[in-house]
Structure 1
């Protein structure tokens, strides 16, 4: 068999037309169910719950809310509850029991403007420490929420006095490998990437990738920081080796120019953190593999330790839509099962084959 036939294939298993604009999609943990979140034509919010049944999805429930819903996560909930946390266009952070979704179980006016991104940690058995949510908003702030403390964030990262307000497009938790350590990474419209250390409540590192940062994700949240991928408005992504921070040069990185259009999201395969998928503005998906260098560490001329970046190889790419694929989520339970939402108003369930051979 030729090497080409051994490559993973990305197969569109189900294509479900939608009557609204989808902004996010998520697998419900430990189930065959998936969610789609978005904005209805009349300006209200939509949460749809589907169940995968063979070669089709069945709509189980549609929930309408006052404001369009931009983002969601299950990351701060337990497997028993499986509560969904959402951020909406009104700056509201809500948590929903999908079995009784009429009234949120937790609600706070989190931001002055739209919540662009949300992430959770400490739930689902992933990551040590308290279950927390982080939200990033157009108002320029990044806030961390402990659900046991009503109404007030436990951390609020905002521009220092005199610094211009930047639109925060993406946030992600990482480094939650024990009860003390935890970081938040945030990406902004001007290309800034900032790493906040929640243990010391300080800015640990910052860099700029020159174009708006659309998505950031650690390869795993519950280990010592290992790798971080950041995608940009101009079709490029960067993989940072987060194991070693140089005093002046920061973290080593490798970048890859994929296409001319925006790379909207990056998602690591839960069962293999060195494999990740990026979704593009041209309706494309690219599947990547990170290869570590022979040595991840070297010393500069003054004896300071610095990281060594590896390389990335393209495993497969496919074009599924004429419009941007704006959201993407791997199933945490079934290896190779994936869901994505695109601005052609279609929800797609994908099967990625041969991942055991990667």
Structure 2
């Protein structure tokens, strides 16, 4: 447990009311700026750039586009660029150079309808494979794009039955620790979670968490698989230790071990609400912030077990799950906090948006004492 003197605190630093609905907020790496993307009342797309200017948030750039935006990432951008990838309500994946946003530098009809989620990786890390963007859509498709190859996705995972396709709500790239390995997580509205191996284009692992999966994230994308979090409907958080994969399916009803061999645990939030997502602290992969439908954010720390793996009766290695500790929490809005992002440059600094049409910048203190 954390003693009282070193207990982190969540502090709201700035907030700004807007006239647009924001669906995603992302820090621009290497700057004191963040981008907010969403939709105007007339259903057109909004890209706004804000800068921390003393006690105020200063709007330094605003661009309107034809289609409203649902999600965004800088994950596949090169270090010297400010190229933002966006997914639209019309199914388009586009990459915008914020220095010259008149036209996209990449534009593809990625899905038949809404792109619910995007994640990018490879742009800012050397020696960890090509820059790629993953998309998940309402059409149930999950696709991976290399912006240097605009004609078609480099990988695609289609539903077996298009008539019964499940809505893909979340995607996350990870296990990208060298030039060959990379995995993709996808979460669906029926509670399915699938892990695709992008080296072999096969399903490496799958499970069902019984509630729609609103958010997924590896604790670090550029290391060998360690653990990941799934944020769900009905106040559910699921944490999986992905270091060890048991070769045999878990026994039916074993909530501790999930299925297909990853040890997992479930955290039930005290108040019944949707958990919209979980964001790991860039400077400490064992700490993450969950943001939820009741307007609250909650900081958690994962504690590893004494042994991370044991052998079963057949001598096969199986993982051992740890425990979650809730460090602190804070209500920020009367509406769902639908987007959250940590600053990659300043530990504890975050930006979030909520459906009250407000963006907020906050700070979590004493993270260096954890």
Shorter-chain TM band: over 0.9
Change in Cα spacing, 1:233 to 1:209, as seen in structure 2 (3 Å) is same
Aligned residue number for residue 252 of structure 1: 263
Alpha-carbon offset, residue 5 of structure 1: 3.5
1:160 Cα deviation after fit = 1.9
Asked if 1:261 is matched to 2:270, the reply is no
Structure 2 stretches of 5 or more lacking a match? 251-260
Aligned to 1:274: 286
Contact 1:126 1:221 in 2 (8 A): no
Give 5+ residue unaligned stretches, structure 1: none
1:341 corresponds, among 353, 364, 367, to 353
Deviation at 1:164, TM superposition (A): 2.5
1:130 counterpart SS class: coil
Q: Does 1:313 align with 2:342?
A: no
1:6: how far off?
2.0
For 2:18, the equivalent position in structure 1 comes to 18
1:354 aligns with 2:366: yes
1:275-314 aligned within 5 A:
275-314=287-326
- 1-structure distance, mates of 2:124, 2:57: 24
Q: TM-score, normalised by structure 2?
A: 0.95
Partner of 1:112: 112
Deviation at 1:161, TM superposition (A): 4.3
1:12/1:162 CA distance change after superposition, 3 Å: closer
Q: Secondary structure at the match of 2:368?
A: helix
Within 1, Cα distance between the matches of 2:154 and 2:184? 13
Partner of 1:202: 202
Residue aligned with 1:273, SS = strand
Q: 1:90 to 1:162 in 2, by over 3 A?
A: closer
Pairwise CA distance, 1:151 = 2.2
TM superposition shift of 1:20: 1.0
Moved over 4 A (4+): none
Provide the alpha-carbon RMSD of the alignment: 1.2
What is aligned with 1:79?
79
Distance in 1 separating the partners of 2:20 and 2:207:
36
Question: Counterparts of 1:128-277 in structure 2 under 5 Å?
Answer: 128-161=128-161, 164-247=164-247, 248-249=249-250, 250-258=261-269, 259-277=271-289
Q: 1:14 to 1:127 in 2, by over 3 A?
A: farther
Q: Which residue pairs with 2:254 in the alignment?
A: none
Query: How far apart are the structure 2 equivalents of 1:4 and 1:292?
Result: 22
TM-aligned CA deviation for residue 162 of structure 1: 7.7
Distance between the aligned counterparts of 1:303 and 1:348, measured in 2? 51
